[in-house]
Structure 1
Amino acid sequence: MQLVLFCGIQATGKSTFYMQRFFHSHVRISLDLLRTRNRERRLLQLCLETQMRCVIDNTNPTRAERATYIEPARAAGFEIVGYFFHSVAAEAVVRNQQRPPERQVPERGIRGTRNRFERPSRAEGFDQLYFVRALGNQEFQINDWQDEVQ
């Protein structure tokens, strides 16, 4: 039983990373897909009740927002794995402009998320935490958290 939690501003490669690494093994819980917090909560609860591995594919910029997933998953006995997608807002804006128009996020949304962002920490309840950088061409560099936190 595993809950994977993505953290990062928009257009940092989170959904691409999901497709590459978790598509065949974990249910994707994404507000972009589900459209309402009620649907999101219900799907999360179903995954927890049925002990289904899942990925929270949202920006999750604050400790409080991450806690809404970590706390119930921990109570259900899940392992909690976090992936922090590092990006500079200007780079995310460029990547966002390369998306199809229907998937683009307003620039003010990217910058607003960046302004609210709190770096995750193991103290939040993560069993494992990783630092991810998009390298281009849908490739990623992944490092253990302790390698990046200095």
Structure 2
Amino acid sequence: MECIIFMGIQATGKSTFYKERYVDTHLRLNMDMLKTRYREKLLLQALLESKQPFVVDNTNPLPEDRFTYIEEAKKHRFSVVGFYFEPDYAESIRRNAQRSGKSVVREIGIQSVMKKLTVPSFAEGFDELYRVRSTNGTFTVEEITNEGS
């Protein structure tokens, strides 16, 4: 049982990464689709109680944004894996410009998340952490080692 938490500014490729690596094995918890925290909470509880692996595909810039997912996952004996999408502001702006309709994020929104984005740590409760970089549509993943090891 695995809870994966994505962290990063908008338009860094988080949803694409999910589709490439986890669409067949993990359900996706995403505020863009669910629209309200109430719906998100209901789905999160259903995923935890049914022991269904899932990915939290939101920006999750601050430790307090990640806390509830980690706490609930641990209570239900899930391992918690974090993927930190290293920000490339210029590339995110470029990618966002290629979007259309409601998927376009206002630049001020990207700037706001960029200012808050905090690199995750094992002290938050992660069992594994990875840094993701996207270059020319290719993802590079490197493990972040525990500070204490």
Letter in 2 for 1:119: V
Q: Provide the residue aligned with 2:80 in structure 1.
A: 80
Name the SS of the counterpart of 1:81 in structure 2: strand
Q: Which runs of 5+ in 1 are unaligned?
A: none
Q: Provide the residue aligned with 2:45 in structure 1.
A: 45
Q: Provide the residue aligned with 2:3 in structure 1.
A: 3
2:87–2:114 CA contact under 8 A, matched in 1: no
Q: Provide the residue aligned with 1:124 in structure 2.
A: 124
Aligned residue runs from structure 1 range 51-66, under 5 A: 51-66=51-66
Could you give the per-residue CA deviations for residues 8-36 of structure 1, whole angstroms, max 9, x where no partner exists?
A: 00000000000000000001000000000
Q: Provide the residue aligned with 1:107 in structure 2.
A: 107
Superposed displacement of residue 114, structure 1: 0.6
1:22 correspondence with 2:22: yes
Letter in 1 for 2:139: F
Superposed displacement of residue 117, structure 1: 1.2
Superposed displacement of residue 136, structure 1: 1.8
Letter in 2 for 1:146: T
Q: Which runs of 5+ in 2 are unaligned?
A: none
Q: Provide the residue aligned with 1:93 in structure 2.
A: 93
Name the SS of the counterpart of 1:39 in structure 2: helix
Name the SS of the counterpart of 1:23 in structure 2: coil
Could you give the per-residue CA deviations for residues 16-58 of structure 1, whole angstroms, max 9, x where no partner exists?
A: 0000000000010000000001000110010000100000000
Letter in 1 for 2:28: R
Amino-acid identity (%): 45
Instruction: Report the TM-score, using the length of structure 1 for normalisation.
Output: 0.94
Superposed displacement of residue 101, structure 1: 3.4
How many residue pairs get aligned? The number is: 146
**Could you tell me how far apart the structure 2 residues matched to 1:115 and 1:103 are?**
21
1:133 correspondence with 2:144: no
Post-superposition, which runs of at least 4 consecutive aligned residues in structure 1 deviate over 3 A? Answer: none
**Could you tell me how far apart the structure 1 residues matched to 2:88 and 2:25 are?**
30
